[in-house]
Amino acid sequence: AQSVAQPEDQVNVAEGNPLTVKCTYSVSGNPYLFWYVQYPNRGLQFLLKYITGDNLVKGSYGFEAEFNKSQTSFHLKKPSALVSDSALYFCAVSPFSGGYNKLIFGAGTRLAVHP
Amino acid sequence: ETGVTQSPTHLIKTRGQQVTLRCSSQSGHNTVSWYQQALGQGPQFIFQYYREEENGRGNFPPRFSGLQFPNYSSELNVNALELDDSALYLCASSLKAGNTIYFGEGSWLTVV
């Protein structure tokens, strides 16, 4: 079965420290991988995606993610966290089978950045 | 701004009623999909439309249906509303499968 796991419900980090939000996936074939962020009572905002190529992907707002095929992981990272980064983060995978754009989301990880 | 707009933003319906949610895709995007996000959960794929035809569906019953129009705007219709249908409904558009998918702000549906 295709699935995405975000093992941490919440990640707490001090402002200025590096942050990592973890994601692992289970899907056949070569998946497309995405990170989205959701602020309170808002829709999803696209951060970055991995399709192919360099395993380190750079995205919006200083975020980056590292694709690791052997560990089936796609962890989100940022070198220096900001209080404004506090939000709900979703990892998603698109198996791209059948020619349509279905995204399978993880349950989300709440990031809390403390001053 | 993603260029994907949804209406209404909030609505309250009674169990058994029907609801229609609307979405205007980002300009030029011919693929639209709908997701349901229950409180505290990740979004769940409902279905996708491409060139006015449904071409993919998640694990949702037939009372969830949709339309895509020639201008690529879209509707999600839910019949015989149940309390568990209370959720944020997200519309998403993309140019084609495999491209970045952009989401609207969503429509909050409460069923009482």
pLDDT (average), residues A64-80: 96
pLDDT (average), residues A91-113: 84
The reply to whether A22 touches chain B by the CB within 8 Å rule is: no
Distance from the Cα of residue A48 to its chain's centroid:
8
DSSP labels, B15-61: TT--EEEEEEPPTT--EEEEEEE-TTS--EEEEEEETTEEEEE-S--
Closest Cα of chain A to B105: distance in Å?
Answer: 4
Closest Cα of chain A to B10: distance in Å?
Answer: 11
Alpha-carbon dihedral angle through residues B50, A103, B100, A10, given to the nearest 10 degrees: 150
E-strand spans in chain A? Answer: 3-5, 10-14, 19-21, 24-26, 32-38, 44-50, 56-58, 64-68, 73-78, 87-94, 104-105, 109-114
What are the chain A neighbours of B43 within 8 Å (beta carbons)? 44, 90, 103, 105
Question: Are B42 and A42 within 8 A, CB to CB?
Answer: no
Alpha-carbon span B48 to A61, nearest angstrom: 29
pLDDT (average), residues B20-33: 89
pLDDT tens-digit series, residues B39-87: 989 999 999 998 889 988 999 999 999 999 988 899 999 999 999 999 9
Considering chain A, what percentage of its residues have pLDDT values greater than 90? 77
pLDDT of B51: 85
Alpha-carbon span A90 to B1, nearest angstrom: 19
pLDDT of B38: 95
- Lowest mean pLDDT across A50-59, B75-84, B95-104: B95-104
pLDDT (average), residues B1-17: 93
Question: How confident is the prediction for chain A on average, in pLDDT?
Answer: 92
Query: What is the band of B97 on the pLDDT scale with cuts at 50, 70, 90?
Result: low
Q: Reply yes or no on whether the pLDDT at B21 is more than 70.
A: yes
Categorise residue A80: left if φ over 0, alpha if ψ from -120 to 50, beta otherwise. beta
Is there a contact between A76 and A35 (Cβ–Cβ < 8 Å)?
A: yes
pLDDT higher at B22 or A43: B22
Residue keyed to tokens 């692992």: A24
Q: Reply yes or no on whether the pLDDT at A99 is more than 60.
A: no
The reply to whether A77 touches chain B by the CB within 8 Å rule is: no
